[in-house]
Structure 1
Amino acid sequence: MEIDCTNFWRKLPSILKAISEAKYVSVDLEMSGISAKPFLSKPTPSIPTLQEIYDGARVAAEMYTILQFGLTCINWEPEKKSYVTKTFNLPLHPGVVGDSVASKHLASVLDRRFRLSTSSLGFLEGHGFSILDVFSKGVPYLSDSEAGLQSIDDFIEGKRQANDRIDVDRLSSESREFYRCVQEQVYRRRHFMELSDVAPSEAIEVYGPHKGRLNSLQKRLIHQIVEDQLENCRAYPRNGGTYMEISKLDGPGEGPHHIDVNHKYRKQAVAKQTGARLLWDAICGKPFADKIDSALIFRENSVEAMQLDITLKKYERQLRNQQPIFVGHNLFWDLCFLHSMFVGPLPESVDAFRTITGEELPRIVDTKYLFTRGTDEMSPDLCLSECFDAEAAGLPPVPPLPPMPELPPVPYYNNYQPPIVVAGARQVGKAVLSSASKGNLLEERDEDVAALAKFETLQPEASSATKAPPTPAQTPEPKPKSHSRVPGSLPEWDEKLWHYYGNRSRVGVFGRMFYTGN
C-alpha cells in the first residue's frame, strides 16, 4: 500500500494494527546517500576494524537521510497454513510538512540540513524512484531527541527563542532611538490598554521615523516591545506595512482564549510533524498512543476519536508485551540510519551502538547473515535478489549449522540440520519477497560498504568482558524445546536456528555484528 502525507493519518491506525499483530516486521530503506568516505577525518584502511566500519556508517547516517521507508508485516495464517504479508511504502520528507501558520513557524525552529549524493540520486532515478515525490508526498518525522529540545517546548508555549531576541545595545544609534521612542509610546498607553473596558479599536499606531514602510528590523523591535510590556496585546502590520497597530485581544476568539487556541495549533503542528517516527516507536515497543492527536484522524470530540484512544492503547500494550521479530537484509547500515533519523545522534562507540540496538530490538534477523554465515572470502557477495535466485535454483539457501549430534541424521543435508530448519529458512525468503521489491535499490551499489572488509573476516575490537559479544561456539547450548510446529512455518525464537542466526548481522562482506542488549 502506498502511503503519503495525504493519507498517512487516515491509514495510521491500520498500520499500527498490522505491526501489533505481526510475527515479523521487515524494513527496507532508500537513502539520499550511503558513502561518507570523502568526509571521514582519516582514510579507511584496507582491512578496517569493526569500530572503523561503524565510524563510516555513523557519519553517513548523520550526513544523509532516509528518502523512503518500506515496511512489511508478516504473520502466520492458520487457516491458509501460510504466511500473509501487508506492505506499506512511505516517502519521507526531510523538512516540516504543512501550510498552517504554526507549521511554517515550526519550520523556522526545526531547520534541518538536507544532503543528497548525486551518485545515489542517479541510481535511484534510474530505477524509477522520483525524488520529487519526497517533497510533494513525503510524510514528516520528528526524532525522539528533536522532540525533547527546549526550542520545541518554547515553540509550543509561544515563547520567543533566546536567539530570536534582538540585543538592542548592539544596534546603531538610529535603531536604539527608534526602539526608545516606541517604548515610551507603549509605556504611556500601557495602563490604558490593560483596562478591561478598552475596545479593540483603541489601538496604538506606530510609524517609522521617515513615515515610509516599516522594515523587518523595525517590525521585530515592535513585536519584542509588545511581548515584554503588554501581555494580552498583539502588533499587526497595517496599510501595506506603513505602520504597526498594537491592539488588545478582546474580541470573540481572542484574549486568553485566543492564546489557548494558538497553543493548541502549535501543539498539533508538533504532533503532526512526529509522523513516521510513530511507526518506529511501535516496532521498538515504545509508547506512542499519547503522541497521536486524534483530531488529525477524526473530528474532535467525536465518538470515533474517543474509541481511537482505547484502540491505540491496546496496540501499544500488545507491542510492549511482545515486539515482532525485526527482519532486514544487510541490516547494519539500515539500523544506523533508523537510529539517527528516529531516535537521535548515534553513540561514538560501536559497543554502545550494539547494546542500544539490542535493547530496542531484542530479536533481529539479518537475511544477509542468514545466507552467508559459514562462507569464506572467495564466496560471491550476493544481494537479496541473487539469494532468492539461488533458492529458486534448488541450492541450500542457508549454510549448515555446526554439527548437532543429538539430532537425527538427515542424509541430504549431511547430518547438519533438520529439514524443518531448511524449510523455515526458505519460507522467510518467500514471505518477504512476495510483498516487497527484490532487494534494496542501493543494495547493488554496496561496493563502498563491501570494500571496507575485503580479504579478512572482521571481529569486534577488544572491549570489557561485560560487553564482548560471545561467538556462536562460546554461546551456551540452549536446552532442546518441544514445539509442535505446523509444516511450513518458521521455528520459534527459542529454537536452535535462531540460537545461531538471531541477533547477528553482516558487516561488510564477511564481518559480523552481535547485538548484545542488556
Structure 2
Amino acid sequence: MDVHNVSFYPLLLDILTDISEAHFVAVDLELSGVPTKRVRREVGKPSLQERYLETKEAAERYQILQFGFTCVHQDVANNKYILKPYNVDLSPLIQERGLEVERIFSFQSGAVDFLLKVGFDISRPFYHGVPYISRDESREAREMHAKRQDKSAMADIQIKPTETESLAFLDRVRSEINGWLQSSNTAKDDYININPIGAEGGNEDGAASDGLSRFEKRLVHQLVRAEYPDLVSLGKAGFVQVVRFNKEREDKVAADRKRELNERINRQKGFRWVVEALLGSDITRLDLRECARDPVTGEQVFADMDEFSAQFHRAQTLLRGNPRVIVGHNCFLDLVYIYRTFIGQLPDSVEAFQRKLHGLWPTIIDTKYMSTHNCGDISPVSSLEQIAAQLSAESVPKIEVDPQHDKYEAVEAFHEAGYDSFLTAQIAVKLSSKLERE
C-alpha cells in the first residue's frame, strides 16, 4: 500500500493497529546516497569500526527518501502468516513554519543515477512525501522557542551617536509612551499604538498602510524592555502596541504559544509516529483529529471519535513498552540511517551504537545473516532477489497477503522500499521454517 502526505494521517490508526498486532515488522529503505568505499592501504577487510564510521558519515549527509515496512501477523489457529506491506515516501522538508529547524542534506550522483534507472521519481518525496522530525530536532525546536521567549537574552541594537534618525525615532516613541502614561485617559486607554510618523494611532486593529519596518519594531521592543519594566510591547501588522504588564495575561500567552509549538511539532512529526510505535514508545500525544481526514483530498471529515479513541487505545496498550521485532536484509546500513534520521546524533564508536540500538530494539534479525551463516569461506548468493528466488518453491508455512495490501501480489518492484520489505518478510518466514526443519 502506497502512503503519501495526504493519506498518511487518515491511514495512521490502521497502521498503528497493524504494527501493534505484528509478529514482526520487516523494513527496507531507499536513500539519496550511500557510503563511499575509501581507498585503503591496509591489507585485509576493514574493521567493523571503520565500516561504521563510513556509514555514520553517509547517514549524516544523505537522506531516507523511501521507507518500506511490512507488518507480519501470525495466524496460529490457521497456521499461516498474513502480510501487510506499506511503501512510504519521506519528505526531506520541514513543512511546519516557525520551528526554526534547518535540515541540510545531499544527493549522491551514483545513488541518484541508480534510482532513476530503476524508475524512482526523485521529485515524489518533495511533492508527496510524508513529513517527519527527529527526537533531536524536536528538542532543538523547543530550545529555540524557549530562547525566543526569554526576552532578557535578546541582543540589543547598539545605536551610535551619529545615527540621528534612529535616535530621533526613539525619542518620539519615548515621548508618546510617556505622554500616554501621564494622560488622564490612561485608565480608559489600555494601550498605545506606536505607528509610523504621520499615521493615526489609537485604533487597536488599525495600522498605517506603510507600517513600521522590522528595524523600527525592534527598536520599540528594545526601548520598552529596557526603560519600562511595567509595560509590554506586542508586535502587530505594521505597528507595535504597548500595554501594561499583566501576569495572568502573559502566562496565558506563554501557555498558548507553547501549546501551538507542540501542535506544530506533532504535525511535523508525521512518520516518526510510526517509528515511535515500532519502538514501543508513548504515542498518546497523537491528535486523533488529524486522522479524521479524507485520504484522497485531505479535507476534514466526520468521524466517530469514540471509535477512533478505542482503536488507538487498543493499539497503544499492545505497543507501549513492547518494541517490535525488526527484520531487515543486510540491514546494518539501514539501522544506522534510521537512528540518525529519527532518533538523533550517532555515537562515535560502533560499540556505543550497538548499545543504544539494542536499548531501543532488543531483537533485530538480518535475513542475509540467516541465509549465509556457517556457509564456509565461499560466500553463497545473498542478494534479496536471489534468496527470494531460491525460496520461491517453499510452500510451508502458508503466506497470504491482506486484500487491502495486494499491490505486490502480481507485480515485481525491486528497489522500491515497500516491495523489498515485502520480500524480506517472506524470506524471514520461509527461511526460518526451512532452517528449523533442517
Task: Note whether the superposition's TM-score is higher than 0.5.
Answer: yes
Q: How far apart are residue 198 of structure 1 and its match?
A: 2.1
Q: How far apart are residue 340 of structure 1 and its match?
A: 0.5
- Per the alignment, residue 274 of structure 1 pairs with 269
Which residues of 2 match residues 331-410 of structure 1 at below 5 A?
Answer: 331-380=331-380, 382-392=382-392
| Aligned counterparts of 1:423 and 1:236: Cα–Cα separation in 2 | 69
The answer as to 2:288 corresponding to 1:297 is no
| Aligned counterparts of 1:143 and 1:233: Cα–Cα separation in 2 | 34
Q: Structure 1: which amino acid aligns with 2:314?
A: K
Q: Structure 1: which amino acid aligns with 2:126?
A: F
CA offset digits 1:187-242 (Å, max 9, x no partner): 42674799664267x5221349xx9875543344445556775866523344xxxx
Query: SS at 2:26's partner residue?
Result: strand
CA offset digits 1:425-460 (Å, max 9, x no partner): x9799x998599665469xxxxxxxxxxxxxxxxxx
- Per the alignment, residue 46 of structure 2 pairs with 48
| Aligned counterparts of 1:79 and 1:196: Cα–Cα separation in 2 | 77
Query: SS at 1:146's partner residue?
Result: helix
| Aligned counterparts of 2:325 and 2:11: Cα–Cα separation in 1 | 23
The answer as to 2:317 corresponding to 1:317 is yes
Q: Structure 2: which amino acid aligns with 1:61?
A: A
Q: For the structure 1 residues 34 and 169, does the alpha-carbon distance in structure 2 shift closer, same or farther, using more than 3 Å as the test? A: same
- Per the alignment, residue 145 of structure 2 pairs with 155
Q: How far apart are residue 385 of structure 1 and its match?
A: 0.7
Q: How far apart are residue 330 of structure 1 and its match?
A: 0.9
**Unaligned 5+ residue runs, structure 2?**
199-208, 294-299, 418-427
- Per the alignment, residue 415 of structure 1 pairs with none
| Aligned counterparts of 2:186 and 2:331: Cα–Cα separation in 1 | 64
Q: How far apart are residue 12 of structure 1 and its match?
A: 1.0
8 A Cα contact 2:220 2:240, kept in partner: no
- Per the alignment, residue 139 of structure 1 pairs with 130
**Unaligned 5+ residue runs, structure 1?**
98-102, 239-243, 398-421, 443-487, 498-518
| Aligned counterparts of 1:490 and 1:144: Cα–Cα separation in 2 | 36
| Aligned counterparts of 2:411 and 2:221: Cα–Cα separation in 1 | 53
- Per the alignment, residue 465 of structure 1 pairs with none
Paired residues in the alignment total 399
8 A Cα contact 2:5 2:130, kept in partner: yes
Moved more, 27-36 or 76-85: 76-85
Identity of aligned residues (%): 25
8 A Cα contact 1:289 1:309, kept in partner: no
- Per the alignment, residue 71 of structure 1 pairs with 69
Q: For the structure 1 residues 8 and 223, does the alpha-carbon distance in structure 2 shift closer, same or farther, using more than 3 Å as the test? A: farther
- Per the alignment, residue 241 of structure 2 pairs with 246
| Aligned counterparts of 2:431 and 2:219: Cα–Cα separation in 1 | 68
Query: SS at 1:287's partner residue?
Result: coil
CA offset digits 1:123-176 (Å, max 9, x no partner): 112222212111111211111122223x4255279626998x444238785286
Query: SS at 1:52's partner residue?
Result: helix
Q: How far apart are residue 91 of structure 1 and its match?
A: 1.3
Query: SS at 2:353's partner residue?
Result: helix
Query: SS at 2:81's partner residue?
Result: strand
| Aligned counterparts of 2:265 and 2:9: Cα–Cα separation in 1 | 14
Q: CA RMSD in A?
A: 4.4
| Aligned counterparts of 1:94 and 1:76: Cα–Cα separation in 2 | 34
8 A Cα contact 2:329 2:368, kept in partner: yes
Q: For the structure 1 residues 321 and 215, does the alpha-carbon distance in structure 2 shift closer, same or farther, using more than 3 Å as the test? A: closer
- Per the alignment, residue 25 of structure 1 pairs with 25
8 A Cα contact 1:32 1:121, kept in partner: yes
Q: Structure 2: which amino acid aligns with 1:16?
A: L
The normalised TM-score by structure 1 is 0.64
| Aligned counterparts of 1:20 and 1:51: Cα–Cα separation in 2 | 34
* Larger RCO (CA under 8 A, 6+ residues apart): 2
Q: How far apart are residue 283 of structure 1 and its match?
A: 0.7
The normalised TM-score by structure 2 is 0.75
Q: For the structure 1 residues 428 and 59, does the alpha-carbon distance in structure 2 shift closer, same or farther, using more than 3 Å as the test? A: farther
Q: Structure 1: which amino acid aligns with 2:62?
A: Y
The answer as to 2:77 corresponding to 1:120 is no
Q: For the structure 1 residues 173 and 372, does the alpha-carbon distance in structure 2 shift closer, same or farther, using more than 3 Å as the test? A: farther
Q: Structure 1: which amino acid aligns with 2:167?
A: E
CA offset digits 1:447-489 (Å, max 9, x no partner): xxxxxxxxxxxxxxxxxxxxxxxxxxxxxxxxxxxxxxxxx97
- Per the alignment, residue 88 of structure 1 pairs with 86
8 A Cα contact 1:182 1:222, kept in partner: no
Q: For the structure 1 residues 173 and 377, does the alpha-carbon distance in structure 2 shift closer, same or farther, using more than 3 Å as the test? A: farther
| Aligned counterparts of 1:423 and 1:162: Cα–Cα separation in 2 | 69
Q: For the structure 1 residues 52 and 306, does the alpha-carbon distance in structure 2 shift closer, same or farther, using more than 3 Å as the test? A: same
Query: SS at 1:148's partner residue?
Result: helix
| Aligned counterparts of 1:294 and 1:219: Cα–Cα separation in 2 | 39
CA offset digits 1:263-315 (Å, max 9, x no partner): 4433211111111111111111111122x123323499x98445544543432
8 A Cα contact 2:279 2:322, kept in partner: no
| Aligned counterparts of 1:314 and 1:379: Cα–Cα separation in 2 | 45
Runs of 4+ more than 6 Å apart: 42-45, 160-163, 254-259, 426-429, 488-493
> 1:283 pairs with 271, 278, 282, which one?
278
- Per the alignment, residue 453 of structure 1 pairs with none
CA offset digits 1:71-129 (Å, max 9, x no partner): 110112356542111122221112222xxxxx3222xx101112111221121122222
